[in-house]
Amino acid sequence: MDARSLTPADLSRAHASFADCTCNAIARNAVTSVGVRKAARDPQAVALASTTFDVQLTQGDVCDQERSGRCWMFASLNTMRFRIMKKLKLKTFELSQSYPLFWDKYERCNWFFEHVIETAGEPLASRDIAFLLADPLCDGGQWDMFASLVKKYGVVPKEAMPETACSSNTGDLDGYLTRYIRMGAKRLREAVRTGAEADEVAAIKRELMDGCYRVLAICLGEPPASFEARIRDKDDKLVVNGTYTPIDFFREFVDMNLDDFVSVINAPTDDKPYLHSYSVKFLGNVIEDGGVRHVNLPIEALKRAAIAQLKDGLPVWFGSDVDQGFLPADGVLDPDALDVDTLFGLPIEAGLDKAARLDYGESLMTHAMTLQGVSLDAEGNPTRWRIENSWGDDHGKDGYDIASDRWFDEYVYQVVVDKKYLTAEELAAYKMEPIELAPWDPMGALAH
């Protein structure tokens, strides 16, 4: 028999090993009845997830991204609506999420076509081209991409461009528009490869972009060039009454210098030395604004900057691997709250450290949220973090999640903070010419 094959002796040994311990039968009975997470749930660890924090910001009603992958937009808009609520003394307020969705999809189509033209000489079988074509219009994105949209198009209140069936559930919009732009990719590649002049290729792209606009306008409605806004504060006083462009509304009421905010990542892998700047190939949306930029720092630097910004009364956008150590019903993010290794008697969670999880495909950024609070010990070190999610108020603790500091260590990969919270050395590293990472690098995963 082939030495690589499983034999009857192998099966007998595995069965005997399983039957040898009564705890395996207990674990089997529990897991087959209620599932892994409920069986592995540690109630004592869950009980530590207090909802009161030393530094705690007050936000409005919890938003809901519904059946879409717009977490990065919701998290970004949550940081901005917080400023509006504070400035105007509002009980709650919501910015339109379908407005940046329209412009992101439109800009991303242009971004895609430009890269198709640029790489037209490469074979379809190349890994880069396969990546470009795989999922060009996914809902995911990065802070830098959102900042590019806002600088160009501004923001509007939700009433000015409300949700539609296709913004709340983006599957068909993404699917049909992706099919259309793949056809466009074929036309553009063939035009370039058969020697078409640059102006001929540009004309094809303009025609294709008109088609993209049509699909988006049918699915989402056309974005307003201007709108009337009337907003009352918590005392029912009319504090906003006028006509605004989206850019003017952002400048007057959000009042945020987007260029002051930088992306700080924690990727403790050998291929990404600390105190270096990084970009990700093909990752972006607004072509004239370039791609994304991160500076890689130890996790302690991310915490220090996040705590400083929270203490100054502003929330913090961050990216993480949300499903790890997560009990959704409890709204708890804590590796200790899920004792999976004891349940199975195997080093499932303990087997890989943070760097190895990134290297071996076990972890990457999957979700963006905002930090809205932190608890500190006697030495000023964080113990728990308060997180505003975008899954509605029936999720977790009235729409919020509570993360242990150990979860932050293991599964937070990015924070976006005002550059004033970085040291001179860290800021100099951010400003370095970025090292370009592969399109499929885990530090670009939030946009896929």
Catalytic residue numbers read 71, 367, 389
Closest CA to 285 of 433, 82, 68, 72: 72
- How far is residue 336's CA from residue 404's CA, in Å, rounded to a whole number? 9
Place of tokens 């039957």: 19
Give the whole-angstrom CA distance, residue 79 versus residue 95. 11
How far apart CA 165 and CA 173 sit, in angstroms, is: 10
Tokens of 197: 């002049």
Measured CA to CA, the distance from residue 220 to residue 214 in angstroms comes to 10
* Closest C-alpha among 384, 387, 410 to residue 397: 387
Give Cα 392 distance to the centre of its chain: 17
φ, ψ (nearest 5 deg) of residue 244: -135, 150
Distance of CA 34 to CAs 37, 164, 335, Å? 8, 36, 19
Closest alpha carbon to 69 in 93, 95, 92, 97: 97
- Give, in order, the Cα–Cα distances in Å from 120 to each of 27, 151, 161, 261, 396: 55, 30, 37, 35, 47
Under DSSP, the state recorded for 250 is I
Dist. CA 274–CA 255, nearest whole Å: 32
Beta bridge partners of 373: 56, 386
> What's the rounded Cα separation, in Å, for the pair 393 and 64?
8
Which tokens is 33 given?
């009845």
By three-state DSSP, how is residue 50 classified?
coil
Residue 63 corresponds to which tokens in the numbers above? 């938003």
Q: What sign for the dihedral angle of Cα 211, 212, 214, 219?
A: positive
Query: What's the number of CA atoms in the CB half-sphere (13 Å) around residue 378?
Result: 0
- What is the Cα 373 distance to its own chain's centre? 19
Instruction: Give me the helices (H) in 314-386, please.
Output: 340-344, 354-359
Structure-token pair, residue 423:
């040291």
Tell me the two tokens of residue 448.
Answer: 């896929």
